[in-house]
Amino acid sequence: MLKHWMKKVYGSFQNINGLPSKPLEAYVNVDIKLSGCPINATQLLSTIASLLKDNFPNITHKPVCLECKLKANPCILIENNEPCLGPITAAGCGALCPSFASPCYGCWGPCEGARVDAMASILTKKGYDLEEILSRINAFGQNIKIV
Ligand code: SF4
Ligand code: SF4
């Protein structure tokens, strides 16, 4: 199948040697990782500013909930039973989605010490399907299985 698509895209592909698909740090040294797709402009500018001053940037690995609470948003997980993944997702986006009453779907990847099992348990108790929860949690490069 891969050969079929290689031929379709490149015509002749004899000289194409692709690398196996792995995280960037498997191939080059990575000093700093910014989450988000796209990354947050404020976080990028602050990272560049820190580096220009020879300081190591302060990148938070706390959960989205922290930013959400700093914005004094009502908690849609608690109050509306929305499947918000803020408790296990890395902050940095400014709690964008919950600020518009929309649940975080985890696009910044896991925060430090993410308690995925506890999150899954809370959402299961709220009536969400475990498979659906895992597909949300795993949508951004994770491969979490809960048995
Ligand atoms: S709405 Fe989501 S991000 Fe905000 S506090 Fe509740 S769980 Fe956390
Ligand atoms: S899905 Fe979560 S991490 Fe992504 S922008 Fe929305 S609130 Fe931020």
Position 136 scores a pLDDT of: 83
| Ligand 1 atom closest to 69 (CA) | 5
Note whether 81 and 124 are within 8 A (CB): no
Question: What's the one-letter identity of residue 89?
Answer: T
Model pLDDT, residue 60: 77
Note the pLDDT tens digit of each residue in 3-34. Answer: 788 788 888 767 777 778 888 889 999 988 88
Which atom of ligand 1 is the closest one to the Cα of 103? 2
Q: Is the peptide bond before 110 cis (omega within 30 degrees of 0)?
A: no
Residue 127 lies in a domain: yes
At residue 144, the pLDDT reads 72
In a domain, 50, yes or no: no
Q: Is residue 108 part of a domain?
A: yes
Ligand 1 mean position, distance from CA 29 (Å): 34
The pLDDT tens digits for 120-139 are: 899 999 999 988 888 888 88
Of 139, 117, 112, 143, the C-alpha closest to 130 is: 117
pLDDT score, position 146: 65
Residues sharing a CB contact under 8 Å with residue 115, sequence separation 6 or more, in sequence order: 87, 88
Q: Which domain holds residue 109?
A: 64-140
CA geometry: angle 100, 101, 105, nearest 5 deg = 95
Is the Cβ atom of 75 under 6 angstroms away from ligand 1?
A: yes
- Ligand 1 touching residue 73 (CB < 6 A): yes
Per-residue model confidence (pLDDT) at position 147: 61
CB-based pocket (< 6 A), ligand 2:
64, 89, 93, 95-98, 104-108
What is the per-residue pLDDT for 20? 82
* pLDDT tens digits for range 57-110: 888 779 999 999 999 999 999 999 999 999 999 898 899 999 999 999 998 888
Does 68 fall in a domain?
A: yes
Question: Is 106 touching ligand 1 by the criterion CB < 6 Å?
Answer: no
Residue 122 placed within a domain? yes
- Mean pLDDT is lowest, of 43-47, 131-135, 139-143, for 139-143
pTM for the whole structure: 0.78
**What tokens were used for 18?**
């692709």
- Percentage of the chain lying above the pLDDT 70 cut: 96
Is residue 129 in a domain? Answer: yes
Q: Which three-class secondary structure state does DSSP give residue 114?
A: coil
- The domain tally of the chain equals 1
If one residue of 97, 102, 136, 140 were mutated to test the ligand 2 pocket, choosing by the most ligand atoms within 8 A of its CB, it would be: 97
Q: Give a yes or no: residue 47 inside a domain.
A: no
Contact in structure between 6 and 16 (CB atoms under 8 Å): yes
113 in a structural domain: yes
Tokens 């929309």, located at residue: 102
